[in-house]
Structure formats: structure tokens, C-alpha cells
């Protein structure tokens, strides 16, 4: 720490200052103060205060007395505090974010003249906010929900807000339905229950009554609804936007960005437990990775359809409940998004950031997507009540390019604009509108015809084809998880009308799915369903995004020890994990010092009761007869092993710990372990009974061909989870 600002923050900030990425940093610096030991406590009006501890009172040393209202310092403190809260976002209230940069490596100037998407010499500063949709500001991170993934690009031509989600489609087609879908998903009106959950009558009642939601609820019930990390999610602009090129040609576009680390999810049981054990799991995960210098990255792309091809598809390309299948419209990746700096203050930088879909820059435009057009009205409007009409002046929201106009006044205006006129045209020609050559936003001259009517175009009426496409494209494991998700959600619906009808609705997607779910949750088992067209599409299953290269960077690995642990095995594992940029977390039976086999002391990061296996990606237990004996009689230690096995995590053990792991899992002849100096891998359990000098050397290759203990252990972690264990049904045979 230096001057109360963490070193990691300072380092990245200094590196960025010279670049275009640093433009936003320099801009924020105007309003940023550091707090230090040199400062003295003052009131908001600058007068130094002698105490922060005692209200002025009529009092004597041996007699308490009443507080005096005349104390301006005390009044300011209390009144200022009384008004600290602003309304939380009406949706997406729970979230966190980070700063970063956006860089184009392959210009898409055949589609747009927007420099942010074409200029390969630029770095555009960004701020990204991730969120859940339904929960209130204090709810848990890991609930089943859609995740918001909103990007503010501080471009040289003004701010561009791409307000996306981790799922490429939406529940409704027309923005007028937004209050209904959100009311139905939020806690029920009579008792404000449940918090941050779709598992209740009203949500599923809405879904049944809106066949247009069918595609989206399948995505929400899939693993996409429970991401392992915000750093491991895809992002989608969802709505159809347009791009305009220098020749004046317009293309329809969808934006998509894919994480370098691959798309990975939590196991549902893990997500449920984390909601209580570590409700801040996702925001801590992002903060930790950035602080450790493992910066999350996404490759950024577009799907593009020429204007002339708008009607060539059997779905309407302006319908936000539909994807553009990759085999018809492949994604062209051309840029990279990186997050590299944590915010310094949550409220001013994360809570006060305001995204508006209506903020686009020249070269990017809207389409007639009826959801997008409603959003363009809604965001700006809601910011006015959440932050006030001058919200664009807040440091985090203001653009890095010049802003000048005749918008004036309003609560908390703080820009002082000098001059005698505040209207256009004026006799001084002050602040005149810009020409196209000067970079003005010019609307595309789009032909419009139609009648005023409350109808949707015909292709908007087909609601099941892509829900079937999604289901057909899932891997067996993902299908299994979707069934389990319906099992949980519909079990929480107490009204038989709701779960009964939903089971019937599933038969519109797949009869087998409907029958399996009805068996789980009750309701009449459907005997007939809508014909499933049997088609599949690439890029819908998240198994298609394992990550660019196998890595364990940023993965948390617990090393479990008690007094007498094998010091050499511990040291090698700790060093190897650190070198691979993973996060080794030492978990003891207690947090006070634990003594190793050679008498050396280690201070664990946590103890077995305080921390849980849900918070790590893998566990390693070194041998040491005494340590293993202690762990073998510790119920919580055994639970850690069983739970990690149940959650499909890689488990590594050496020496005496091999038998401990084998016994704890208790699946004797099926899950096998090493009994020699050979490393053995069985269903993601990597063991080495006899540790010889040099047999635990660092991992070099992470691949199927891996031979050494560390290599096999690391390769297992890099695979995220051991699906083979679930496919064989082994995890469900262990109590955890
Ligand atoms: C394609 C569908 C949609 C997507 C991807 C989406 C995404 C998002 C995201 C990511 C946020 C959080 C922004 C932040 O981090 O501050 C958000 C907030 C919000 N969305 Fe949407 N949304 C969608 C549809 C809609 C619709 C149809 C409406 C209204 C007609 C709407 C109204 C709002 C409002 C009022 C907020 C709160 C904004 C604030 O207070 O800062 N959204 N949305």
C-alpha cells in the first residue's frame, strides 16, 4: 500500500497514463483525491474539526446530559449520512465492474466508418459493469439469472454504450412488455418473496403465458444462468443494431464477445451454497484476478447481414428472441476487450455509472427492433430518476471528448458555462451544429412505410423453432443440467396450474424433456408434443468455448494441511501453482500456525470451517502421516473432499493423503488411486502414493498426454470440471 491506494492500482494507472486508454484516467484525476495521514478532518465546507467522537452536549464529568442541536459538525455528519443512499437500479441492481481497454486488430471498415471499430492504432478506454437482473443490490452473486454485461466505450467521438447480457436473446419481443416480465420475475407483490430467484409461481406463469419467452427461458435454465465467473462469460449486444460505411451502405449487426478463458459455469449445488457462504463470489473473483495481474480478455466480433438480405431468413432478424445461427451468419472477430484496473471507489464509479442504449457514435445506428427502440427511451429516462438530470456530468459518465451545448440547469448542475447566450441560433454563431465533415452524427435516410397499428410482423409469431434448436444443440451434460434446473424451479412453484402447464409447454420443445421433467416435478405427463425439427447449430453449446489454450491462471486451488504435513510436497505444489498464476489457498484445521514435517511453520490463509470447497476450483492434499491422521478424523475435512468430488473438481493427493481421499470418496473399485511411484488419474482424482525426489516437478505441458503428477493435476484443473464423473453418475453416489 502507498498513500492508502493499493500499489496494483497505481502501477496499472501509471502504465496507462501515456496512452489513449489513459485519457479517461486523466479525466477522472480531475475529481479524484487520495486520503493520507497528512490530511485533517474537515466539514464539507472546509472547516477543521477537533473530534469525530463526541457530540456537543450540556454535560459534566460525572453527569451525562442532552445533546445540543446547535452542533453544526454533528448535524452535518448525521444529515449527510441520512441521505447517502440513492435508489438502486430498477433492474440489474446488483453488480460490479472494472476499467479496461478496447483495441481493434482487423478493421471492419467495409461495414462502418466508426473509428472505434476500424482504427487499429487506437486504444479506447472502457468501463464494464456486470450484474444480475432480478435481485436487489444486496442479493447474492451466484443466483440463477441472466448476467448483464454492459460496456461504456469512451471514444474520441463520444460515449458508446453497448448494454449487453451473457445470453444472446431476450424474453420478450416488444419493449411494452418489459414491466410485465420484470414484475413477474421480481419478488411477488404480496409478500416480497422470493429474493433474486426465478423459482416461483409468477415467473413461470408469465413464461407460460408468453410463448415468445420459450427460447430465452431455455438459455436461462442452461449453465449460462450460473456462470463460474464474469470473466468466463460470453457477452452479446442481443438487439440488432446497424453499421454505416463510408459509401453510405447500411448493414444489420449483432455484437458478440467471447472470453479467452472459455465459457464455464458453476454446478447448481455449488451456486446455491455460495449464495450463503460467499454472496460476493463474483465481484471478489473479478477484483482478485485484476489485482493479481491476470487481466480478463474477450475477443470481440460482429455478425453482419447486408441490408438487402433482411428478409432472406425464416426468422425476423429484428426479433430479439432469435439468434442468428452461426452456420448462416458466422461471427467475425476483429478486436479485443481487456479489463485491467479495479475501481477505486464503488459508489462514484460503479453505482453511478449510467448506461444508455441510445448512446451510439457516428457509424453505428439502431434498427427497427421493437425491443431496442423501447430501451432507447427507457435507460435515459430511468437515469434521470436514479441519478438526476445532470447524470452525464458525473466523472464516470462524462465523455473524454469535448461536450458543449445549450442543455442547462437542473439539480446539481456543476459545469459553469460562460457566455451571454444559451440558445441556437444566436448572433455570435456560438456553438453551432457540426457538419458531417466535422464528424456530426448523421441519421441514415431509411425508407419507412406502414400503417399505425399495434401489430407485430408475421415472422415474430413463430416461437418454438429456435428453442428446439437450442435444446438439440446441447451436450448430454448440458441437457442433464437443464432438466435439473427445471426440476428445481418448478418444484418451487406451489400452484399446480403453473407447474402443470409449464410441463406441457416443454412438450413444444421436446417430448422427452417434458416427460422427464413432469416425472420430477409432478403434473400430467404429456403423451404428445410438437414435432422437433431435429436441427442443431454450432456455438450454442458452451462446450464449444473451452478457452484459447488450457490454463489454470486465476483458478483457486486449496492446499489442505494439518500439523505434520509433508513440507516438500506442499512447497512444490505451492510454487508450481504460483508460477502458473493460479491462486493457492492454504487451508488448515485452524488458522494459527501449522507445523510441517521438517518443523517449519506455515500460517494458513483460512481454516476448514471458515472457508469451503465451493470457493475453490480444485484441492490438493499433501501427505504426512500425522497430518493425514488428523484430517481423517475431521468431519469437515472429509466433507471438503466429498463435496469437491460431488462438484466435479480435480482432487490431487500425494503420500498418505492418497488413502484419505480414496476412503473419503468411498467409491472403491471404480475410482482408483496410485499405490506406487507412478501418478494415477481416475475420474479427475490425481494421486501419487510414493513421492520420490523430483517426482513433483513443475508442470510444463498441459495436455491429454501429460504424465507427471503436477501436469496431470493441472490439466484436470484446466478442464474446469471432470464431466466424466457426472456422466457415469458417480457424483450422485457421494453424500455432500
Ligand atoms: C435486449 C434486452 C435487454 C438487455 C440485454 C438489457 C441489459 C441491461 C443491462 C446490462 C443493464 C445494467 C446496466 C448497468 O450495469 O448499469 C440494464 C439495466 C436496465 N435495463 Fe435493460 N436490458 C434489456 C432490455 C430492457 C428493456 C426492454 C428495458 C425497458 C424497456 C430495459 C430497461 C432497463 C433499465 C430501466 C435498467 C436500469 C438502468 C439503470 O438504472 O442504470 N432493459 N439492462
- Give the DSSP per-residue string, 257-275: EEETT---B--HHHHHHHH
pLDDT at 703: 75
> Does 45 belong to an annotated binding site?
no
Residue 14 annotated among the catalytic residues of the structure: no
pLDDT value of position 706: 78
Residue nearest to atom 12 of ligand 1 (CA): 92
The structural domains of the chain, ordered by start, are: 95-171+227-393 (2.40.180.10), 464-540 (1.20.1370.20), 556-733 (3.40.50.880)
Q: What's the pLDDT at 3? A: 45
Exposure string for 574-592, b = 16+ CB within 10 A, e = fewer: bebbeebebbbbbbbbebe
ipTM of the complex as predicted: 0.95
Give 22 or 74, the one with higher predicted confidence.
74
Question: What pLDDT, on the 0 to 100 scale, is given for residue 1?
Answer: 37
Answer yes or no: is the C-beta of 718 below 6 A from any ligand 1 atom: no
Of the ranges 194-198, 245-249, 690-694, which one carries the lowest mean pLDDT score?
Answer: 690-694
Ligand 1 centre to CA of 49 (Å) is 43
DSSP tag of 46? S
Q: Which of 274, 294, 273, 292 is nearest to 282 (CA)?
A: 274
* For residues 203-219, average pLDDT: 98
Task: Give the strands of the sheet with 556-561, arranged side by side.
Answer: 606-607, 583-588, 556-561, 618-621, 650-654, 685-688, 680-682
Q: What is the spatial distance between Cα 688 and Cα 674, in angstroms, rounded to a whole number?
A: 5
Band (310; pLDDT cuts 50, 70, 90): very high
What's the predicted TM-score (pTM) here?
Answer: 0.96
Q: Tens digit of pLDDT for each residue in 640-689?
A: 999 999 999 999 999 999 999 999 999 999 999 999 999 999 999 999 99
Distance 375 CA to ligand 1 centre (A): 7
Query: Residue 175: CB within 6 Å of ligand 1?
Result: yes
Torsion of CA 641, 489, 185, 232, to 10 degrees: 40
Strand partners, 364: 243
Q: With pLDDT > 90 as the criterion, what percentage of the chain qualifies? A: 94
pLDDT in tens, 158-192: 999 999 999 999 999 999 999 999 999 999 999 99
Rounded Cα–Cα distance for residues 135 and 724 (Å): 34
Choose the catalytic residue: 159, 165, 376, 397. Answer: 165
Our answer on whether the CB atom of 350 is closer than 6 Å to any ligand 1 atom is no
User: How far, in Å, CA of 87 to CA of 385, rounded?
Assistant: 8
Using only the alpha carbons of the chain, give its radius of gyration.
Answer: 29
**Which atom of ligand 1 approaches the CA of 92 most closely?**
12
Point out the catalytic residue in the list 14, 83, 92, 720. Answer: 92
Mean pLDDT across the chain? 95
User: Quick check: 384 pLDDT over 70?
Assistant: yes
Please, what is the Cα angle at 713 between 711 and 715, to 5 degrees?
Answer: 65
Amino acid at each position: 500500500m502507498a498513500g492508502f491506494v493499493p500499489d496494483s492500482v497505481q502501477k496499472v494507472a501509471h502504465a496507462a497514463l501515456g496512452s489513449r486508454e489513459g485519457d479517461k484516467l486523466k479525466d477522472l484525476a480531475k475529481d479524484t483525491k487520495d486520503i493520507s495521514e497528512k490530511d485533517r478532518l474537515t466539514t464539507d465546507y472546509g472547516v477543521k474539526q477537533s473530534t469525530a467522537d463526541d457530540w456537543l452536549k450540556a454535560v459534566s464529568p460525572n453527569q451525562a446530559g442532552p445533546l445540543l442541536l446547535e452542533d453544526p459538525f454533528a448535524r452535518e455528519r448525521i444529515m449527510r449520512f441520512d441521505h447517502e443512499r440513492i435508489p438502486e437500479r430498477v433492474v440489474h441492481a446488483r453488480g460490479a465492474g472494472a476499467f479496461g481497454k478496447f483495441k481493434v486488430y482487423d478493421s471492419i471498415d467495409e461495414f462502418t466508418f466508426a473509428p472505434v471499430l476500424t482504427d487499429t492504432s487506437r486504444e479506447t478506454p472502457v468501463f464494464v459493469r456486470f450484474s444480475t437482473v432480478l435481485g436487489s443490490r444486496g442479493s447474492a452473486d451466484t443466483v440463477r439469472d441472466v448476467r448483464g454485461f454492459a460496456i461504456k466505450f469512451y471514444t474520441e467521438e463520444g460515449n458508446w454504450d453497448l448494454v449487453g447480457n451473457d445470453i444472446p436473446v431476450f424474453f420478450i419481443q416488444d419493449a411494452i412488455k418489459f414491466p410485465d416480465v420484470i414484475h413477474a420475475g421480481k419478488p411477488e407483490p404480496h409478500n416480497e418473496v422470493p429474493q433474486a430467484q426465478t423459482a416461483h409461481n409468477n415467473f413461470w406463469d408469465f413464461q407460460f403465458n408468453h410463448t415468445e419467452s420459450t427460447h430465452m427461458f431455455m438459455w436461462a435454465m442452461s449453465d449460462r444462468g450460473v456462470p463460474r465467473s464474469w470473466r468466463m462469460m460470453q457477452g452479446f449486444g442481443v438487439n440488432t443494431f446497424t453499421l454505416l460505411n463510408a459509401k453510405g451502405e447500411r448493414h444489420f449487426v449483432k455484437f458478440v464477445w467471447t472470453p479467452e478463458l472459455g465459457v464455464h459455469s458453476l454446478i447448481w449445488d455449488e451456486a446455491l451454497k455460495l449464495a450463503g457462504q460467499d454472496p460476493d463470489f463474483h465481484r471478489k473473483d473479478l477484483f482478485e484476478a485484476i489485482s493479481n495481474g491476470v487481466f480478463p480478455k474477450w475477443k470481440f466480433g460482429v455478425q453482419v447481414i447486408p441490408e438487402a438480405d433482411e428478409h432472406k431468413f425464416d426468422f425476423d432478424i429484428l426479433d430479439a428472441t432469435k439468434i442468428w445461427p452461426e452456420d448462416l451468419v458466422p461471427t467475425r472477430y476483429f478486436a479485443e476487450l481487456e479489463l485491467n484496473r479495479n475501481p477505486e471507489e464503488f459508489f462514484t464509479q460503479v453505482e453511478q455509472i449510467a448506461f444508455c442504449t441510445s448512446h451510439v457514435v457516428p457509424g453505428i445506428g439502431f434498427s427497427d427492433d421493437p425491443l431496442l427502440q423501447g430501451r432507447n427511451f427507457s435507460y435515459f429516462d430511468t437515469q434521470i430518476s436514479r441519478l438526476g438530470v445532470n447524470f452525464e456530468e458525473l466523472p464516470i459518465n462524462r465523455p473524454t471528448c469535448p461536450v458543449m451545448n445549450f442543455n442547462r440547469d437542473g439539480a446539481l448542475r456543476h459545469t459553469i458555462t460562460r457566455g451571454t447566450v444559451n440558445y441556437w441560433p444566436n448572433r455570435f454563431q456560438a456553438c453551432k451544429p457540426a457538419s458531417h465533415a466535422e464528424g456530426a452524427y448523421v441519421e441514415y435516410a431509411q425508407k419507412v412505410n406502414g400503417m399505425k397499428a399495434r401489430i407485430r410482423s408475421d415472422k415474430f409469431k413463430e416461437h418454438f423453432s429456435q428453442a428446439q434448436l437450442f435444446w438439440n444443440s446441447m451436450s448430454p451434460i448440458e441437457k442433464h443440467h437443464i432438466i435439473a434446473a427445471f426440476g428445481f424451479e418448478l418444484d418451487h412453484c406451489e400452484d399446480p396450474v403453473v407447474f402443470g402447464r409449464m410441463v406441457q409447454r416443454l412438450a413444444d420443445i421436446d417430448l422427452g424433456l417434458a416427460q422427464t421433467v413432469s416425472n420430477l416435478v409432478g403434473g400430467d405427463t404429456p403423451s404428445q408434443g410438437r414435432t422437433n425439427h431435429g436441427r442443431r447449430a454450432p456455438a450454442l453449446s458452451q462446450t464449444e468455448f473451452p478457452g484459447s489454450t488450457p490454463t489454470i491462471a486465476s483458478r483457486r486451488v486449496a492446499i489442505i494441511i494439518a500439523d505434520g504435513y509433508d513440507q516438500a510436497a506442499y512447497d512444490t505444489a505451492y510454487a508450481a501453482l504460483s508460477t502458473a498464476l493460479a491462486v493457492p489457498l492454504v487451508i488448515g484445521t485452524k488458522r494459527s500456525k501449522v507445523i510441517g514435517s521438517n518443523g517449519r511453520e506455515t500460517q494458513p490463509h483460512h481454516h476448514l470451517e471458515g472457508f469451503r470447497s465451493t470457493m475453490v476450483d480444485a484441492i490438493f492434499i499433501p501427505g504426512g502421516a500425522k497430518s493425514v491422521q488428523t484430517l481423517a478424523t475431521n468431519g469437515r475435512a472429509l466433507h471438503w473432499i466429498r463435496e469437491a468430488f460431488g462438484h466435479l473438481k480435480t482432487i490431487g493427493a500425494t503420500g498418505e493423503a492418497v488413502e484419505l481421499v480414496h476412503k473419503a470418496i468411498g467409491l472403491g473399485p471404480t475410482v482408483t488411486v496410485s499405490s506406487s511411484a507412478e501418478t494415477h488419474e481416475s475420474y479427475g482424482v490425481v494421486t501419487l502414493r510414493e513421492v520420490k525426489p523430483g517426482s513433483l516437478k513443475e508442470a510444463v505441458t498441459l495436455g491429454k498426454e501429460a504424465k507427471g503428477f503436477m501436469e496431470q493435476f493441472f490439466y484436470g484443473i484446466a478442464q474446469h470440471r471432470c464431466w466424466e464423473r457426472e456422466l457415469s453418475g458417480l457424483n450422485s453416489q457421494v453424500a455432500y
